Amino acid sequence: MAEHVFRRHVEDEGLDVEVDSSGTEGWHRGDPADHRTVRMLERNGYTSAHAAKQFRNAWFDHYDLIIALDEGHYRDLRALALKEEHRDKVRLLRSYDPQAVDPNVPDPYYGDETGFQECLDLIEAAMPGLLDEVRKESP
């Protein structure tokens, strides 16, 4: 969900930024996004095409920022980083939302439709701050 929300914001801003997403584990590798995620994205005007993949350590050299949606993934990604400069690239999405109290975007998978809406709302709330960060890093 965060990939598609951020991609649209980047495109709307005219920024030349590569946006991708992956998981820290390979459980759903190759699977499409959950149908509830797709429905929520499409209902809110976002794209939704996706095939799950597992994060690869080599991507630390490829990407400028690695965004985690919760503290567990944040720790996992930082543990994968072999260099301090790679660990410094890992950030929590909600750290870009000045109103955030909880640093985590909860996983809506085991809940109902309201959890997917909450997830989308939390992701969207972080977009202005994340875009500011990307603008600072862009040439």
62-71 pLDDT tens trace = 999 999 999 9
User: Alpha-carbon dihedral of residues 121, 50, 64, 138, nearest 10 degrees?
Assistant: -70
Q: What percent of the chain has pLDDT over 90?
A: 89
Burial (CB count <10 Å: 0-12, 13-18, 19+), residue 106: middle
Q: What angle do CA 87, 48, 102 make, to 5 degrees?
A: 45
Q: What is the pLDDT of residue 139?
A: 64
Strand partners, 67: 91
CA atoms within 13 A on the CB side of 64: 12
Which fold is adopted by the domain 2-137? Rossmann fold (3.40.50)
Cα–Cα dist 56/111, whole Å: 29
* pTM of the predicted structure, to 2 decimals: 0.94
> In the structure encoding, which two tokens stand for residue 138, read together?
């862009």
The closest of 20, 72, 74 to 51, measured between CA atoms, is 20
Q: Where are the domains of the chain?
A: 2-137
Report, as ranges of residue numbers, the positions in the chain whose pLDDT lies below 70: 139
Beta strand ranges found along the chain (DSSP E): 66-68, 90-92
